[in-house]
Every structure is written in C-alpha cells, then in structure tokens.
Amino acid sequence: MLNDTQIRNLKTTGKAKKYFDGGGMFLLVTATGSKLWRLAYHFDKKEKLLSFGQYPTVSLKDARERREDAKRLLAQDIDPGAHKKAIVAKRIEEQANSFKNVALEWHETQNGQFTAKHRELVLRRLNSYLFPAFGNIAVSKLEPQDILAVARRVKMTHLNV
C-alpha cells in the first residue's frame, strides 16, 4: 500500500516504473517524471487498463475511491472503461447541444427573417442576458421556467423574438 509521503518522494529512474497500491491499481512514474494512476482489470476475458489521472491532481484518496467505483461497476458486469467513455461522449454531446450553440445556430438562420440591426440587437441580448445564465447548459436540461426566470429578472419581456 502506498502513502502520500512515499508518492511525493518518488523520482524518475529514467524509465517507466510501476508502484502498486493493491486491487489492480498502481502509480506509473514515467521516464519524464509524471505520476499517473492506472487500474489493471479483466473484462470479458481481456486485460484492460483504466486511467484515473495524474498525481497530485488526483490524490491517493481519490484514486482509491475511483478504484472502488470501478470495482463496483465490474461487480455489476459493466466495463468501467466503456462506462467512462460513454460518460465523456454524453458530456461532449451535451456541450454540442448547449443553449449557446443552439441559439447561435438559430441566429445564423435568421438572415432572411430579421434586419441586420435587429439580428445585432438579438445577439447582444443573448450575450448579455441568456448566455451568462445558461449558455453552457444542454438544451435538453432547460425548462421553460428557467428562461422565464431570467427574462423576468432582467425585464426582457419586450424582446419580440
């Protein structure tokens, strides 16, 4: 079992070296001195490797919690690596469908509907009022009352858009 003092004092040996903590988890100290958390596990009769991040950004305690989370997934017959990839893919999809991205896409389609002056006004109001409030939130997670609350707060009921 590793401890924080031991980890802080680890130095590179000029080549990659593994320091095991138990349960398949180890700290990989690279030739350049980076300290990376890894978990070796088996799923569907294949050996796999899961990355938890770099020490000290991911502490020993956090790495151990992530190891236990991965073990719980394995106990439910879920591949922790595939699970992690699915979470990342969902986050990327949500970012692509953020309120800001969708609103800007909509704004671009309004060339024939709005005058240039009105398009500029709408964009200024989006940037000033709506994007700071929930620009990065996925459209699927927004509720009408979220938008209404901001509209009421900044008295934007006169927008006519």
Select the highest-mean-pLDDT range: 68-72, 88-92, 140-144, 151-155: 68-72
pLDDT for residue 148? 83
How far the first Cα of the chain sits from its last, in Å, is: 62
- pTM equals 0.68
According to DSSP, residue 139 is labeled G
User: Does residue 155 register a pLDDT over 80?
Assistant: no
Residue pair 38/25 in contact by the 8 Å Cβ criterion: yes
Residue 142: both structure tokens together: 């927004």
Query: DSSP strand E in 58-130: where?
Result: none
DSSP 3-state of 12? coil
pLDDT for residue 85? 96
Whole-angstrom Cα distance, residue 119 to residue 114? 6
Whole-angstrom Cα distance, residue 35 to residue 63? 12
Residue 139: both structure tokens together: 């459209």
pLDDT for residue 111? 80
**Is the backbone peptide bond immediately before 56 cis, with ω within 30 degrees of 0?**
yes
pLDDT in tens, 36-81: 999 999 999 999 999 999 999 999 999 999 999 999 999 999 999 9
pLDDT in tens, 89-112: 988 888 889 999 999 999 999 888
Rg (CA), the chain: 24
pLDDT for residue 95? 83
Q: What CA dihedral angle connects 71, 73, 78 and 82, to 10 degrees?
A: -90
